[in-house]
Structure 1
């Protein structure tokens, strides 16, 4: 920095324009307000003595207004709409040329303006007395001749005249205060006006003279900075222009991984240094991720595009895992049957794989009112198509409604015998007679896919021959991998395939063990160094690429959002017809109300039936014994009452438990029976109501047995 002069940053930047950029500045000394640029522009930057700053652009940001009477400062945006007028200088000008040189650029738009001469002016045969005001109308410019001012002179009694004054005329000239008005942008666009003092047109704000200074936003590059640095020129830092001395100085260019991928192939292999590592919450969960820290070195071997498969482990007691696997993976897979927990899942799978065959893994009871068919464990179904069907919607009126249903065909189990001589026509007839089963899409069910092959596949072949998703199992590991993380899983699901721009990377301490970084899924910045590669020139090592990369569940969800953003949700079950049950509830409520009203009227106990209460008197509070049933005499044993037969007894199944309701509930049951209240078909219990006559008969039989 010898032979150079340090200037405040504000002053040096104000003397520049974009046409002379870039400029290289070196920091000498100084401090800036509040200690760091971090609090100004959101970037954590610290200027140290000797730092080089490469200014690549300046942008007018605002204007600093300084009151010269008390040194107070305030800032106005460049878009400020207020107007200013020039404050005349106290010191006189010695020549016309000096006075005109301080006028703004584009003089014609700022005319007229007025000045006076302290001494008399003699031009040829014309003499003008001292103190007369001259108004400049225009500038006369003739090639080969001196420039002249065309001025207007206002004489006495409204007499006027024009005179031309040469620029070289000497004297003592003072500018008069004029009514010219300027905006901040006009003042900042003229280097001459920037050096003048101004006053607000609105004197209530500030009537004292102001010195206006532009404040620029400086766009610069510094070493080891990720992005272009932006800071205001008002920082109190002294700098030196060292552009001529440091022309060959190299500034680090930060590159994102996407920008690295766009570099020419001749740039690789290369040693790079990490300027900013990946985010704390990365989408990857692998061994090489923690080593991608700031200031660490990597070897970028080459760039390319890799076909990758996203795998997920099945949900179990352990946490679910996800893997990003290259299609160059050398292991072998065998297909695994997929499981489906609803008819809708079956429908989605059938769209991707027509002719899907499944086996039922859980019984499903038939519901005729809802139109749900019965399914038994072990039954095999073949999906035919999805179509709109008319199914019952519940209720006693036989109402129906149209729903989307999956039409399936029940498959017959193969016979144990060898009937090789069956006629082909008989087989066609059996196929035509296969039962068609409609399964509404909202129906719950449990199915497992029926597979017809036990072949081993490569990963890239699975994507060609089958549609995804697909359940598989690794049956032979990739021998090129030291440890294959996919081995040991009972089932893996292939979620999808993708083409990803990748960079083949390794660490300097093991340059032959490489891994691939998908550039669109990892955010970090690096720069190309000039460090030598860690192998002899022209003898690159044979690289072993890790084909399996574990990723987080966040990666999986982001992948699913990109692929299934417009996927329709599963259908909802149709609304049931509740008209019958509603009327039953209303009638039950009305009967309860009438019963309560009648009981309250007579003051009866809730647990005593009305008919029995009519037979009671004040002297006879006990219940009279019930008469014996007809045909039974005291000298004969009571008849055996036959048990009620039900459909379950004929099938050999056990009868459900029954019980006799308490006495308090008999009245309520009888009233509901008299009102013909329908039973609730949705009840989960199978209670049986005991008839009153049967109870009376049983009590009489017990009494007779005691006397028998």
Structure 2
């Protein structure tokens, strides 16, 4: 077939003969060009192949060949066309089906769509009783729907695109048009698995797992997709502190056994997480806490608490009363002590360790079903199916939450017996199905039972997890910060006394005995060396001023009241000399 303009080829194409394969030959797009259609870009280059799968009539332009006037006809135009007398003598054409059966009013002609489908009338000069002009030319514009290599969507281009094409359908029967897909789209696919695919582009984002199979997901790698995984995951962290902890995703297929470890709770607010669970929470206090409110009790190391329920109470401090949330607990100081109910404010920062007497070994599904998360465990029995169970190397693991993100079971074509599982929405990549036959062998080894997370993705995952928990309450303001605002009323028998000014050093040798203060040692006695104090970490810091601790006065510098006064005069002398030098410098300038 000789090359034709795309418009001429499409107008002569019988829709019943689709699909047809075309090759781009030449034209305005000879070296390739990018055009935009309906918000999507497409590039056509010489030699490109496209399979025409459908046509849709967009518009019809009626042009008067004598005057050059063009009119857009609606697609439901009801007029009828005949061959123009200037081209052929008037003779009846195909009768219109719309008007047959009307006696004396049988207009002869073709409808708009009949003209467009007729090879004999295509390109001929026509006339229509409802349109002006004796030589009309109809120019249809179609939307060409085509499939192209490496195009995810169906390409839609106008038939008027200035491109020359040739029909190569017969010699292109063996050509397979690759349709790229994202791995995340495979999750919603119906059909038989496994399927063989080839990776077009590796993972889009940074690695989320610390393993050796993610680097093998590169362009050109062939994989077998076995379908969706039925396993769920548990997010776990090693209990070595936030900076040195490691994070994992544990599959429900993990075959190791765990033993419970006591949980630690830094505040009373953290104890409220156990409310609503079937198991009562019992903890031991590991840090003393002295209450500043008469209505609330103090805690001592060794106190045993059982969490009961939440309540509200009113506390009064310095003539100001307010209602706060408290946690009602049952407290006992020993095994023989009677229990009493106490009210603990949620902001209380103390040390609480869970009392655990459970020596049972749990599987991961049993933990999720029977124990509240988060919980702390230790591996009691390794997973024998793993070459090296890294979880057994940690003294404690914190199981944080259950995750139901969908995974796909995948194996490399070069190792079909070894599988790993990918979460496509976290680790997406482009691929296409090759259509090649797949082996009947099913994977016998799962390498995704324990996946270590990268530090960055772990914190990203925490943001993705839903949380309806309210933020912890703020602790009350410190009393000293309120005292700065002005005098406060005393509460009960308590009163805040202003600190007394320090007595002069000269009068310290004559202190009355009833004052309760010891006099300074005589100057003749050698005093031990004074250890200098470090700067106060909580002292206010002024920008631009380097804070250094003021040194203690040495014992040998303290001789008498005169010497003490002389020390202050020396400071004034130094200041006077400095001012004098500054004045001299200004005058000199």
1:536-575 to structure 2, matched below 5 A, reads: 542-552=444-454, 556=458, 560=462, 563-572=465-474
User: What is the CA distance between 1:524 and its match in structure 2?
Assistant: 2.7
Shift of 1:260: 3.9
- State whether residues 417 and 441 of structure 2, in contact with CA within 8 Å, keep that contact through their aligned partners in structure 1: no
Q: Considering only CA atoms, is the larger Rg found in Structure 1 or Structure 2?
A: 1
Say if 2:266 is the partner of 1:341: yes
Equivalences for 1:296-695 in 2 at 5 Å?
296-314=221-239, 316=241, 318=243, 320-352=245-277, 354-368=279-293, 371-388=295-312, 390-396=313-319, 399-414=320-335, 433-531=338-436, 542-552=444-454, 556=458, 560=462, 563-572=465-474, 584=486, 640-644=512-516
- Separation in 1, partners of 2:89, 2:426: 70
Give the 3-state SS of the residue equivalent to 1:642 in structure 2: helix
State the shift of 1:276 in Å: 3.6
- Distance in 1 (alpha carbons) for counterparts of 2:475 and 2:237: 30
Residue 24 of structure 2 corresponds to which residue in structure 1? 27
1: CA distance, partners of 2:124 / 2:240 = 76
- Which residue does the alignment assign to 1:227? 153
- Describe how 1:285-296 pairs up with structure 2 within 5 A: 285-296=210-221
* Corresponding position of 2:198: 273
| 2:544 match | none
TM-score when scaled to structure 2?
0.65
- Contact in 2 for aligned 1:393/1:576 (Cα 8 Å): no
In structure 2, the partner of 1:11 is 8
SS at match of 2:233: strand
- Structure 2: where are the runs of 5+ without partners? 75-82, 128-134, 490-509, 518-560, 562-589
In the other structure, the counterpart of 1:36 is 33
Change (3 A) 1:522 1:213: farther
1:326 deviation in Å?
1.1
Q: Distance in 1 between matches of 2:273 and 2:192?
A: 47
Structure 2 CA distance for partners of 1:272 and 1:565, relative to 1, 3 Å:
same
The structural deviation recorded for 1:261 is 4.9
The answer to whether the 8 Å contact 2:42/2:155 transfers is no
Can you list the C-alpha shifts for 1:193-249, whole angstroms capped at 9, x where unaligned? 998899xxxxxxxxxx99985655443222343333344444433223345665675
Give the Cα–Cα distance (whole angstroms) in 2 for the partners of residues 26 and 501 of structure 1: 42
Query: Taking structure 1 as reference, are residues 577 and 395 closer, same or farther at Cα in structure 2, changes over 3 Å only?
Result: farther
**2:62 & 2:351 partners in 1: Cα distance?**
79
Q: How far is the alpha carbon of 1:305 from its aligned partner? A: 1.4
In structure 1, C-alpha distance between the alignment counterparts of 2:406 and 2:164, rounded to whole Å: 46
Q: Please list, as runs of the form range in 1=range in 2, the aligned pairs for 1:693-708 lying within 5 A after superposition.
A: none
Q: Structure 1 or 2: larger helix share?
A: 1
Q: CA deviation at 1:376?
A: 2.5
Distance in structure 1 (CA, Å) of the matches to 2:511 and 2:166: 125
Tell me if the contact between 1:187 and 1:193 (Cα under 8 Å) persists in the aligned partners.
Answer: no
> Which residue does 1:603 correspond to in 2?
none
Task: Give the match's secondary structure for 2:393.
Answer: coil
Structure 1 92/530 Cα, relative in aligned 2: closer, same or farther at 3 Å?
closer
Indicate the SS of the match to 2:323.
strand
CA distance in 1, matches of 2:473, 2:443: 57
Identify which range, 456-465 or 209-218, moves more after superposition: 209-218
Structure 2 CA distance for partners of 1:492 and 1:215, relative to 1, 3 Å: farther
CA deviation profile, 1:19-47 (whole Å, cap 9, x unmatched): 76443323334452884337776556454
Deviation at 1:547, TM superposition (A): 1.0
**SS of residue in 2 equivalent to 1:348:** helix
C-alpha distance in 1 between matches for 2:165 and 2:226: 41
**Alignment partner of 1:240 is 2:166:** yes
Give the Cα separation in 2 of the matches to 1:234 and 1:298.
42
Q: Distance in 2 between matches of 1:478 and 1:322?
A: 18
Determine the C-alpha separation between the residues in 2 that align with 1:78 and 1:365.
Answer: 90
Distance in 2 between the 1:500 and 1:257 partners?
14
TM alignment of 1:87-106, pairs within 5 A: 92-97=86-91
Q: 1:515 to 1:403 in 2, by over 3 A?
A: same
TM-superposed deviation, 1:394: 1.6
Distance 1:290 1:297 in 2: 14
SS in 2 for 1:12: helix
TM-aligned CA deviation for residue 576 of structure 1: 10
Aligned partners of 1:216 and 1:233 also within 8 Å:
yes
Please give the secondary structure, in 1, of the residue aligned with 2:376. Answer: strand
Residue equivalent to 2:558: none
Cα pair 2:24 2:44 within 8 Å, conserved: no
CA shift, 1:455, in A, is 3.6
Q: Deviations over 1:44-78 (max 9, x none)?
A: 645442x4312234456689999999x9x9xx999
| Paired residues of 1:515 and 1:545 also in contact (CA < 8 A) | yes
Query: 1:116-160: per-residue Cα shift (whole Å, max 9, x none)?
Result: xxxxxxxxxxxxxxxxxxxxxxx78679x9x965xxxxxxxxxxx
Aligned-pair CA distance for 1:567: 3.4
Maintained 8 Å contact 1:224/1:275: no
Secondary structure (helix, strand or coil) at the match of 1:486 reads helix
Matches within 5 A, 1:64-213: 92-97=86-91, 191=116
What SS class does the counterpart of residue 290 from structure 1 fall into? helix
2:84/2:90 contact within 8 Å kept: no
- Quote the offset at 1:329 in angstroms: 1.1
- Give the whole-Å Cα distance in 2 for the aligned partners of 1:386 and 1:26: 76
User: Equivalent residue for 1:608?
Assistant: none
**SS where residue 317 of structure 2 aligns?**
coil
